[in-house]
Amino acid sequence: MSEPKPLPDTRERILDAAERLFMESGYEGTSMRMITGEAEVNLAAVNYHFGSKEALLREVFRRRLSWLNRERLSALNELEEKANGEPLKPSAILEAFFGTLLRMGTDEALGGMTFLRLLGRTLTEPADFIRAFFAGEYAEVVERYKRALFRALPEVPHEEIIWRFHLMLGAMSYAIAGTDALQIVTGCELDMNNEGPDAARQLAERVMPFLLGGLRAPLPPFQVSKEQQSTTEPTKAA
């Protein structure tokens, strides 16, 4: 009924196997027998240690998100302390929010790319209990960062900021989750390996400028149509 004991490694082995398999095959596409098979534990062990398959998925995420939430909050706190009441730079906010996430991908002890890809995929999973779980897990952090962005961009309507926050989350999640899926769609190899710390580092270098460019794009006054504002290509930063 309780878990005060340090426990052997059965719990961790299950969590690791579930993390990898959920990433690879999705929640509904992964059976308990696949998980216990890969973890080399008895089938009943999952229900004994976690109670149910749903609770297992939640625990897979809690184990990682508790670190991520803590780190994201402390990164923002640090920025705000240094700023002495001044609004933050948008780029610094993004660096804190997404940079923290990408740092998980470089550290195998924090789940590495496996967890990053699982996270990106699961955000679009339709199951109700998954959505409800994420809502609770993310609420505080997102609220803090939203507020910071409002202050950093005082002339931009809040609604527009929230939209772009959505879009940045989407681009990042997709970039993380769908690397190989998108490579199939676009038919390009992109010569990056999806595993390991290098992948996360490449992601950071590629994605952050894109996100910043999107966040600072001209506001939509009326319609995006015929006469566009400019045709300049991406400027080479010195």
**C-alpha dist (Å) from residue 51 to 45, 48, 59, 127, 135:** 9, 6, 11, 18, 22
- Measured distance CA(235)–CA(69) in Å, rounded: 35
Among positions 24, 54, 59, 198, the unique one binding its own copies when judged by CB under 8 A? 24
Amino acid at 52: S
Question: Which one of 3-11, 40-48, 60-68, 206-214 is the stretch in contact with its own copies (CB under 8 A)?
Answer: 206-214
Binding status of residue 31 toward its own copies by CB under 8 A: no
Q: Give the x/- contact pattern for its own copies in 169-188, rule: CB under 8 A.
A: xxxxxxx-xx-xxx-xxxxx
Q: Give the x/- contact pattern for DNA in 23-62, rule: CB under 7 A.
A: -------xxxxx------xxxxxxxxx--xxx--------
**In angstroms, what is the minimal distance from the CB of 77 to its own copies?**
18
Contact 168, 98 (CB under 8 A): yes
Binding status of residue 79 toward its own copies by CB under 8 A: no
- Measured distance CA(115)–CA(10) in Å, rounded: 19
Q: Half-sphere exposure of 14 toward its Cβ, with a 13 Å CA cutoff?
A: 27
Binding status of residue 215 toward its own copies by CB under 8 A: yes
Site for DNA, rule CB under 7 A: 1-3, 5, 7-8, 10, 30-34, 41-49, 52-54
